[in-house]
Amino acid sequence: MTRILAVTLGNTSVAAATADADGALRDPGRATLEQLPAFLTPRLEAADGPVVVCSVNPPVLERVREAARAADCDGPHLAGEDFSIPVRADVEEPGRVGTDRLLAALVAHRRAGGACIVVDAGTAVTVDAVDETGTFLGGAIFPGPGLMARSLADGTAQLPHVEIASGAADGPAIGRSTEAAIRSGVTRALAGAVERLVRDMAEALGSDVPVYATGGYAPPREDRGGSGWQVVPDLVLEGLVLAWCERREP
């Protein structure tokens, strides 16, 4: 059976999954960009259908294009360039909206059946609003935990760089070491910013809308955003497959 190979390329990680024509993801996986060849080359060599890609990282995209040519793949077909994403963006510069944000909005609206909010917490964090018609309204962007921690080390004389693991618990609020204090501040900055943005966007949308969270740093507890909070690890991959399948329909 011919399957789609869907690949998302971020600033620090890559994710991939295969999917049948029904759009259901199979064997999703992810890796750091340092692991890209070992992670992606076997998948490209095994691909027996189209390779579709969402990328926010042009240099890495070129590496994937070269690997796909070497593996004699059908593609890669780039979302937003080689095929359209069925989401209208009601923003000042629609062409500058990241395709990952639009793909996540596409799936979130289909799941919600109406207005919703999307949180994607990775290298950067985006919190976006989608109205009842599925229109992408824009949102907010701020540094993810890794960038926050790195900026403290780069911008000060004595603060160390502290690694913030994906899915890390907040830990004690009162850090009893410099490292613990940084970890407390960074993880709570993420949680606090997300909670505030979700609250303000829900108010602007005029209802208690569901929230869909994705990305390596997605706050794991459902009480972060209220009863409608759902963590969907492969939201962008789902959107990529959905956009491709709908584009391919007669």
- 88-105 core/surface letters (b: 16 or more CB in 10 A; e: else): ebeeeeeeebbbbbbbbb
* Residues 61, 173: Cα–Cα separation, whole Å: 40
Q: Which of 82, 100, 154, 170 is catalytic?
A: 100
Give which of 75, 80, 78 is closest to 105, Cα–Cα: 80
User: Which among 108, 9, 104 is positioned nearest to 62, based on CA atoms?
Assistant: 9
Tokens of 74: 């059908």
Judged by DSSP in three states, 92 sits in coil
Q: Is the alpha carbon torsion for 65, 71, 72, 76 positive or negative?
A: negative
For 97, phi and psi rounded to 5 degrees?
-75, 130
Peptide bond into 76 cis (omega under 30): yes
- Residue 100 falls in the annotated catalytic set: yes
| Active site residues per annotation | 100
